[in-house]
Chain A
Amino acid sequence: MSAELGIIAQQFVNGITLGGMYALLALGYTLVYGILLMINFAHAEMFMFGAYVGLFTLQGLSRIAFFTSSGPALLLLYVLTFLIAMIATGILGVVIERFAYRPLRHAPRLAPLISAIGVSLFLQNAALLWISSRSLPFPVLFEVRTFRIGGASISSMQILIIVTTIVLMLVLDSFVSRTRLGKSMRATSQDRDTAGLMGIDINRVIALTFFIGPALGAAAGIFSGMYYGNIKYNMGFIPGIKAFTAAVVGGIGNLRGAMLGGFLIGLLESLAAAYISTGYKDVIAFVVLIIVLIFKPGGLLGESVAEKV
Chain B
Amino acid sequence: MLKVNDLHTFYGKIEALKGITIEVHEGEIVTLIGANGAGKSTTLKTISGQIAPRTGSIEFLGEQIAGMPAHLVTAKRVIQVPEGRRIFPQMSVRENLEMGAFLRNDKDEIAADLEKVLELFPRLRERVAQKGGTLSGGEQQMLAIARGMMARPNLLMLDEPSMGLAPVIVEVIFDTIKKLNKAGTTILLVEQNAAMALQVADRGYVLETGSVALTGTGKELLGNERVRKTYLGEI
* Residues in A lying within 8 Å of B, measured CB to CB: 180, 183-184, 186-187, 190-191, 193-203, 303, 305-309
B185: interface (CB < 8 Å)? no
Assembly CA distance A162 to B100 (angstroms): 39
A307 to B103, CA, bound (A): 26
Contact B91 A187 (CB under 8 A): yes
**Given A184-B102, A186-B88, 10 other A-B residues pairs in contact with their CB atoms under 8 A:** A183-B95, A193-B86, A194-B82, A197-B74, A197-B79, A199-B71, A199-B74, A202-B70, A303-B90, A308-B133
Asked whether, in the complex, the Cβ of A308 is within 8 Å of the Cβ of B140, the reply is: yes
Q: Nearest 6 A-B pairs (CB), nearest first?
A: A196-B70, A305-B133, A199-B103, A199-B74, A194-B86, A190-B88
Query: Cβ of B112 < 8 Å from any Cβ of A?
Result: no
Task: Enumerate B37-52 residues with CB–CB distance to A below 8 Å.
Answer: 48-50
Q: Would you list 6 pairs from A and B whose C-beta atoms are within 8 A, ordered by A residue?
A: A187-B102, A191-B86, A197-B74, A199-B151, A305-B90, A305-B133
Name B88's contact: one of A194, A202, A203, A308 (CB within 8 Å): A194
Alpha-carbon separation in the docked complex, A305 to B92 (Å): 12
> Taking the complex as formed, is B131 at the interface, i.e. its CB lies under 8 A from any CB of chain A?
yes
Chain B residues in the interface with A (C-beta under 8 A)? 48-50, 69-71, 74-75, 79-80, 82, 84-91, 95, 99-100, 102-103, 131, 133-134, 137, 140, 151
Instruction: Write the nearest CB–CB distance from A252 to chain B, whole angstroms.
Output: 14
Bound form: Cα–Cα A194–B100 in Å: 10
Q: Judging by beta carbons under 8 Å apart, are A196 and B100 in contact?
A: no
Q: CA–CA, A196 to B89, complex, Å? A: 16
CA distance A165 to B74 in the complex (A): 39
Is the beta-carbon distance between A191 and B71 smaller than 8 angstroms?
no
| Residues from chain A with Cβ under 8 Å of B133 in the complex | 305-308
Please report the C-alpha to C-alpha distance between residue A148 and residue B74 in the assembled complex, in whole angstroms.
59
Residues in B neighbouring A201, C-beta threshold 8 A: 69, 71
Task: Give every chain A residue within 8 A of B87 (Cβ-Cβ).
Answer: 194
Q: Which chain B residues lie closer than 8 Å to A303 at the CB level?
A: 90
Shortest CB distance A14–B (Å): 35
Are A197 and B80 in contact (CB-based, < 8 A)? yes
- Min Cβ gap A279→B in Å is 41
Closest to B51 in A: A193
| Known contacts A183-B99, A186-B91; is-contact A200 B71 (Cβ 8 Å) | yes
Question: With A196-B49, A196-B50, A198-B99 given, is the CB distance from A186 to B74 under 8 Å?
Answer: no
Bound complex: CA of A203 vs CA of B71, how far in Å?
A: 10
Evaluate contact between B102 and A198: CB separation under 8 angstroms.
yes
The residue on B at minimum CB distance from A194 is B86
CA A191 – CA B79 in complex, angstroms? 16
Inter-subunit contact A199/B90 (CB<8 Å): no
Instruction: Identify which of A196, A198, A308 gathers the most chain B CB atoms within 10 Å of its CB.
Output: A198
Interface centre among A190, A199, A203, A306 (most CB of B within 10 A): A199
In contact, A308 and B137 (Cβ under 8 angstroms): yes
Give bound CA distance, A184 to B151, whole Å. Answer: 15
A200 cross-chain contacts in B, Cβ below 8 A: 71, 102
A87 and B48 alpha carbons, distance in the complex (Å): 35
Name the distance in Å between A301's Cβ and chain B's nearest Cβ: 12
Q: A187 vs B88: C-alpha distance in the bound complex, in angstroms?
A: 7
Which chain B positions have C-beta within 8 A of A195?
99
Q: Which residues of A contact B50 (CB under 8 A)?
A: 193, 196-197
Complex formed: what's the CA distance from A197 to B150 in Å?
12
Whether the Cβ atoms of B89 and A307 lie closer than 8 Å is yes
Cβ of A197 and Cβ of B89 under 8 Å apart? no
B75, B89, B90, B100 — most chain A CB neighbours (10 Å):
B90
How distant is A256 from chain B, measured CB to nearest CB, in Å?
Answer: 13
In the bound assembly, the distance between CA atoms of A184 and B98 in angstroms comes to 11
Residues of A within 8 A of B100 (CB): 198
Smallest CB-CB separation from A305: which chain B residue?
B133
* Of listed B80, B88, B100, residue having the most chain A CB within 10 A: B88
| B-chain residues with CB within 8 Å of residue A305 when the two chains form the complex | 89-90, 131, 133-134
Distance between Cα atoms of A190 and B79 in the complex (Å): 19
B75 contacts across to A, CB distance below 8 A: 199
